[in-house]
Structure 1
Amino acid sequence: MNEKYPIIKIEPKQANYPYWLSTSTQNKHTIYVRGQLFPTDYRPIAMVGTRTPSWNGNALAKELVASLKNCKTSVISGLAHGIDSQCHEAALKNQVHTVAVLAQGLDMPIGGPRGRLAGQILEQGGALVSPFPLGSKAFKHKFLIRNHFIAALACATVIVESRESGGSMHTAAHCLEEGRLLLATPGDILRKTAQGPNLLVESQSALALWQCDNLPIFAELEFISQDSSPSGAVAAQQLDFWNNFAGECLSIEEIAQRSQKNLPHLLSILSELEIQGLVEQTPQKNYSFNKTPP
């Protein structure tokens, strides 16, 4: 890995210094990069959470990242066990660019599953990033700095699952400090790892992510290939939804039964498809799906 992916030192005044980092309070730091950073027109999203997630937390991480497929974005996380690793792995699976921010020098060894995941990130065109010079070991205080860098590299941060205190909540605080968008996924009030997101939403510090498909909308993401969606504006998930019903005229009940989506989410999708001219509501209150894009 060392020979194939050399470490590059990037100074703040260099043209390839990441845009979102350059507009943050951390913009005086030299960074070290192994692999490929995201293109300058991407809007990267930080996604972090507890090292001991619930089944629901793992599922949320996977679905949130899947919603970013075909978007101009990168998943920024910390390569830690738990939610961080789930987000990186989901990014690799969905071919979404991903960056792991480390609390150590990039020349220092990464053991076990984290090391293997780091190698996969590089092999699939992602990057490892560190604000620490070569030879730096991962001491506790460096994780606090790492957490700030995760938020500073991204246009928005998502707290997937977290206790009321800990690294993820530090990242949330840094996101607010940078004036960036903060999102959180509310959870069961009895689950300790849902207390952090619930607190952020209740205090109105973060927007609640009730639907995973809303993430690209809230983050104002563009699509990698405008030719792959009608009018270049329909989300990939909405396009897939339309393809399933193209040429049919159905009642809302029939659509709900076949799509297995709840009514509020379904109405939101249909409304967007109507705006794009892919669906029309008939006088009988049915929905007519066009056979081809307008």
Structure 2
Amino acid sequence: MNSTGFRRSLTWIPRKWSGRLLALSMSTEKLLLKLSISRISPANIREYLYSIPGEEDINKDSIRDYLSDYVDVEKVLNLEVEPIYNHLKKKGVNIVSILSDDYPENLKTIPKPPPILFIRGEIVPEDSKAVAIIGTRRPTEYGRSVAWNFAKELASNGFTIISGLAMGIDTNAHRGALEAGGRTIGVIGCGIDRVYPSSNKRLAQMIADGNGAVISDFPPGTPPLKYNFPLRNRIISGLAKGIVAVQAASRSGVFSTVNWALDYGRDVFAVPGNITARQSEGTNRLIKDGAIPVTSPEDILNYFGFSSSVKEEKEVELPGDEQRVFDAIGDEGARIEEICDATGFKPQQVNSILLLLELKGFVREIGGGRYIRNKP
């Protein structure tokens, strides 16, 4: 599914990457912070930034000249932001404007890009080669496995993985990229000083401290309100060259991201799923509506003109009883009692074989007595 064959075309605002920019001065970052937390609309801030020659011209005088018609400028300039600014700096947050070379290149091309971003971690020029992997917060084990492995292989081939740091598909996409030693960017629907859900705080820290970044265009302190997430989804779509929908119910936030992607001229891919699974109703519908069906990471690599640099893995071959248990686990995973039913083995025998398969690295337990295969 691409915008040429599915939706209207849009006006683009191409800007050429000109290399990494040195960090903004402290005073400039504080001015951007004041603009962000004020009541000035993003549209007016964006127009102000476009009206000046460069970000070195972000100063009190230029703000007065352009924004005095829209807001009480002196009130904005006198905002006390020192405590907020110091808190952000302790968290390693940088504040960048759309004029910065540290602003993501792909995001600059969308209509009405966010004028100010808060970034934990680092954005690099290579992040323009990016794919977003999105889906439900309540996936099946099949969905988790697909998200993890697509992200892992795409990241191994130089793609930055974009997702929303939510539970489910997002979490598995980020973790798959990190496992590959690749880059990943998490886009959040709240202030950069928060993480939602809170259970992903450690994951967010791993991304920011490692190969990637966590970004937000919401002012610090913004709570994760429901209506923030469609706005977050536009950034996910804007950052990526293509969107991969792994699993989605018939009513899902995935459609918001897909609609933004179509508006921005991004390609939309969908992973087909079990026709009886609620979690695949949405993705199967996307395919019927024109999304590009993909059943392996290689499909996406080939679409963008790349070939996989990861060697194809041979089919797992194990001794008799081990192979039967491994096969019984399947792509969806299985509980011990389900493995017993499929193999006819007693629980004690299944437990012993599972322990052996874990030691060999072929399977892992994910809680509640449920086991899944470890994919390379």
TMscore range, shorter length:
0.7 to 0.9
- Against the structure 1 CA distance between its residues 28 and 119, is the aligned structure 2 distance closer, same or farther, given a 3 Å change threshold? closer
Instruction: Provide the identity percentage.
Output: 28
Larger Rg: 2
Q: Distance in 2 between matches of 1:215 and 1:38?
A: 22
- The question of 1:88 aligning with 2:154 is answered no
Inter-partner Cα distance in structure 2 for 1:151 and 1:159: 12
Structure 1: gaps (5+ residues): 222-233, 245-254, 259-294
List per-residue Cα deviations over 1:34-72 (Å, max 9, x = no partner): 101132464111111000000110111112112214323
Whether 1:216 aligns to 2:301 is: yes
1:245-264: per-residue Cα shift (whole Å, max 9, x none)? xxxxxxxxxx9999xxxxxx
**Which SS does the other structure have where 1:161 is aligned?**
coil
Paired AA for residue 32 in structure 1: F
Where 1:140 maps in the other structure, the secondary structure is coil
Residues in 2 aligned to 1:166 and 1:134: alpha-carbon distance in whole angstroms? 27
Correspondence for 2:275: 189
Q: Secondary structure at the match of 1:72?
A: coil
Alignment partner of 1:157 is 2:206: no
**AA aligned opposite 2:231:** I
Match for residue 292 of structure 2 among 207, 214, 217:
207
CA RMSD after TM alignment? 2.3
When residues 100 and 216 of structure 1 are mapped into structure 2, their CA distance, relative to the original with a 3 A threshold, is: same
- Aligned with 2:245: secondary structure? strand
Question: Using a 3 Å threshold, how does the CA distance of structure 1 residues 69 and 208 change in structure 2: closer, same or farther?
Answer: same
**Partners in 2 of 1:41 and 1:129 — Cα distance?**
13
Match of 1:11 in 2: 97
TM-score (norm 2): 0.57
For 1:216, the aligned partner's letter is L
How many residue pairs match? The answer is 231
Secondary structure at 1:200 match in 2: helix
Take 1:130 and 1:257, find their aligned partners in 2: how far apart are those partners? 42
Deviation for aligned residue 1:182: 0.5
Aligned partner of 2:309 in structure 1 is 236
Contact 2:271 2:293 in 1 (8 A): yes
Offset at residue 26 of structure 1 (A): 3.8
- Paired residue for 1:48, among 120, 134, 138? 134
Amino acid paired to 2:267? L
More helix per residue: 2
Q: What do the CA deviations read for 1:53-95 (whole angstroms, capped 9, x no partner)?
A: 0011011111211221432321111110100001011111111
Partner SS for 1:100: strand
Change (3 A) 1:110 1:3: farther
Other-structure match for 2:118: 32
Q: Does the CA-based 8 Å contact 2:117-2:215 persist in structure 1?
A: yes
* Residue number in structure 1 paired with 2:231: 145
- Shift of residue 11 of structure 1? 1.1
